[in-house]
């Protein structure tokens, strides 16, 4: 007998509260790739997938691409970094969040204290 996923109760940690939903929406505004179920609760899974693995639905966790060719649902494109190849990394991989972190650092506003300190010098 197959399990019907829709009939099973959703664990509490997979149900974001109001603040988490608001935060997820703001993150997706900054980085549109984060408008994904995989980004809403990234730590709810038992482990990160390796780029060499496949997802439960059979899709690859990494798609080799030397340049970005548009957006792909549930993936983020990352240019080559040290030991990581350029391509699309699934948001179920820890490698995807290396790129998320880089994008957040570029898009965050500079802190007033840092600007003020530099102005005083």
**pLDDT at res. 114:** 56
What is the DSSP secondary structure assignment for residue 54, as one 8-state letter? B
- The sheet carrying 75-78 orders its strands as 62-64, 87-90, 75-78
d(CA 87, CA 66) in angstroms, rounded, equals 6
**Residue (of 25, 56, 60, 61) closest to 40 by Cα position:** 25
pLDDT in tens, 64-102: 999 999 999 999 999 999 899 999 999 999 999 999 999
Phi then psi for residue 34, to 5 deg, are -80, 5
What is the model's pTM? 0.74
């Amino acid at each position: 007998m197959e399990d019907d996923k829709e009939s099973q109760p959703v664990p509490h940690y997979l149900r974001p509260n109001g603040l988490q939903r608001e935060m997820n929406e703001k993150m997706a505004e900054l980085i549109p790739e984060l408008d994904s179920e995989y980004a809403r609760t990234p730590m709810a899974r038992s482990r990160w997938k390796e780029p060499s693995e496949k997802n439960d639905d059979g899709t690859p966790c990494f798609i080799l691409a030397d340049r970005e060719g548009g957006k792909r649902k549930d993936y983020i494109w990352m240019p080559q970094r040290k030991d990581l190849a350029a391509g699309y990394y699934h948001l179920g991989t820890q490698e995807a969040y290396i790129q998320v972190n880089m994008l957040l650092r570029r898009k965050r506003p500079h802190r007033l204290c840092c600007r003020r300190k530099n102005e005083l010098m």
